[in-house]
Structure 1
């Protein structure tokens, strides 16, 4: 786990998507769409000085990871998103 990390994960009880800090009992925020949760997660991590955003699929498994500046990405992408 990095010092500043958030996960975008499905909320099976309420529906929609949560932005959650590892080990936290409460979500940082809740959203109807995964895209909205990802945008808010990036904002939260960026405001805290950068870090990792882990994006889960509907099955709960991590499907993507994003390093938010000024985080240190050990494997930076070659494409320009």
Structure 2
């Protein structure tokens, strides 16, 4: 991983295999790859397992939109 600086390499070394897998599985969802394709590339035996990543991405998108909306309306300021 030559494009990572020393700090990035240390962080990657501390990242669990589960976290790496979650990131790998979530990225296609975030990129709007069709659900059936995400299911196939992740190798999940069950569609229910793949649904976890779709749900996680939807939750992340809602949080980002809520934060943006709060900034626009000033409701996020104290």
TM-score, normalised relative to structure 2: 0.28
Higher strand share: 1
Higher helix share: 2
TM-score, normalised relative to structure 1: 0.27
Ranked by relative contact order (alpha carbons within 8 Å, sequence separation 6 or more), the top structure is: 1
Which has the greater radius of gyration? Answer: 2
